Structure 1
């Protein structure tokens, strides 16, 4: 039996990005999916596009109304999840890697049908303005204290996580906080599985270093709040993040080399 996949897509005044996301879903060879789009009452023609789209695509629904920001919108999306096997946050501008991505995902999930993992995740393709594409491999061995081990676009959560919500205290780092709390709910490490699969694409042209610095500050707080480490240790991890951010600007290949120094087993450390 195939897995029912559910996508939550949020957007605000990003019609071009939303169309990219929706087009990647509609291009899939795998059809057992549903998508809810949460639009923050955009003024760029997005509501009209969604109205037309939902009229001809019964597996796409939408809500267009003001919200309190990104994570409030994502929580609205979670509340709209219908019965499914796994759900994923694929926001406007994000896209699935290839037309057969969901087919490959379902094939790999079939291996675990007897005991479905709570979280499955894979690699991501970063797209730069000059046309360069870099595969950002998800980590096998990781420490939650050091940050996210995988991009949220390439993570699928089992339906059992439909009760978990984003913490609106964070404006940038609630993805990280959500993943920390999701992993902490695991009863056994085997409930999370890394897949040998590139799942998503991410447009790097809009990445802001000033926004990343704000995120590093929030990361400092959430590590302490979630009991991951002491304030002193959290400060060291923040300094490490700043160093990697600057290295990424200076030499992306060197950044990837430094980032790839992880073990080969699926172990949480």
Structure 2
């Protein structure tokens, strides 16, 4: 029996990115999926596009209304999940790696037999403005205090997580907090499985170092509040993230080399 996948996509004034996301879903060779799109009341033509899309695509539903930010919109999406096997947060600009991604994912999941994982995750492809593509491998070593071991676009959560919500007190790092809480809900480490496949693509043209610096500050508090480590240890991880952020900005090839040799943390910084 095939898996049913459900996607939550949020957007705001990013019609071009939203089209990219939707096109990647419609191009799938695998048909057992649905998507809900949460638009924050865009002014760039997105509401009209969504109205037309919903009229012809029964797999896609949408709402367009004001919200209180990214994570409020994602919570709205979670509350609209239909019964499924796994769900994924694939936001505007994100896309599935290939037309056969869901077909491959379904096969990989069912290879586990009756012991279906609670969380499955895989690799991601970073795409830059100059056309360069870099495969960013997810880590098979889980160390929550170091950060996100996988990009959220490449993670699929079992339907049992449909009751979990993003904490709105975090403006940037609530996805990290969400994953920490999701992993803590596992009954056994084997319930989370790394799949050796590239699942998603991420558009790197919108990455902001200023925003990342604010995220590092939130990460510091998040680690302490979740009991992952002491304030002193959290400060060390924060300093490390700042260093990697600056290295990535000025010498991306060297950043990749150091990351591959010295860290099991694959957080986008």
Structural mapping, 1:101-112, within 5 Å: 101-112=101-112
Contact 1:122 1:155 in 2 (8 A): yes
| CA–CA separation in structure 2 for the residues paired with 1:261 and 1:226 | 28
Instruction: Describe the shift of the 1:190–1:201 C-alpha distance in structure 2 as closer, same or farther (beyond 3 A).
Output: same
Contact 1:6 1:34 in 2 (8 A): yes
**Would you say how many aligned residue pairs link Structure 1 and Structure 2?**
264
Q: Displacement, 1:34?
A: 0.1
| CA–CA separation in structure 2 for the residues paired with 1:106 and 1:246 | 38
Q: Displacement, 1:179?
A: 0.3
Contact 1:141 1:263 in 2 (8 A): no
**Structure 1 residue 63 corresponds to structure 2 residue 69:** no
| CA–CA separation in structure 2 for the residues paired with 1:233 and 1:168 | 25
The unaligned stretches of length 5 or more in structure 1 are 265-269
The unaligned stretches of length 5 or more in structure 2 are 265-269
| Matching residue of 1:267 | none
| Matching residue of 1:182 | 182
Cα shift readout 1:110-163 (whole Å, capped 9, x = no counterpart): 112401111000000000111100000000113111100000000000001000
Q: Give the match's secondary structure for 1:103.
A: helix
Cα shift readout 1:169-219 (whole Å, capped 9, x = no counterpart): 000000000000100111111000000110000010111000000000000
Q: Give the match's secondary structure for 2:234.
A: helix
| Matching residue of 2:43 | 43
Contact 1:141 1:262 in 2 (8 A): no
Structure 1 length as normaliser, TM-score? 0.96
Contact 1:119 1:193 in 2 (8 A): yes
Q: Give the match's secondary structure for 2:167.
A: coil
> Which segments of structure 1 move beyond 6 Å, counting only runs of 4 or more?
none
| CA–CA separation in structure 2 for the residues paired with 1:113 and 1:28 | 24
| Matching residue of 1:92 | 92
Contact 1:172 1:218 in 2 (8 A): yes
Q: Give the match's secondary structure for 1:63.
A: strand
| CA–CA separation in structure 2 for the residues paired with 1:12 and 1:34 | 20
| CA–CA separation in structure 1 for the residues paired with 2:52 and 2:262 | 47
| Matching residue of 1:25 | 25
| CA–CA separation in structure 2 for the residues paired with 1:263 and 1:195 | 19
| CA–CA separation in structure 2 for the residues paired with 1:76 and 1:118 | 22
- Larger mean CA deviation between 51-60 and 254-263 belongs to 254-263
Q: Give the match's secondary structure for 2:126.
A: strand
Structure 1 vs Structure 2 CA RMSD = 1.2
Structure 2 length as normaliser, TM-score? 0.96
Q: Displacement, 1:262?
A: 7.1
**Structure 1 residue 157 corresponds to structure 2 residue 157:** yes
**Structure 1 residue 74 corresponds to structure 2 residue 74:** yes
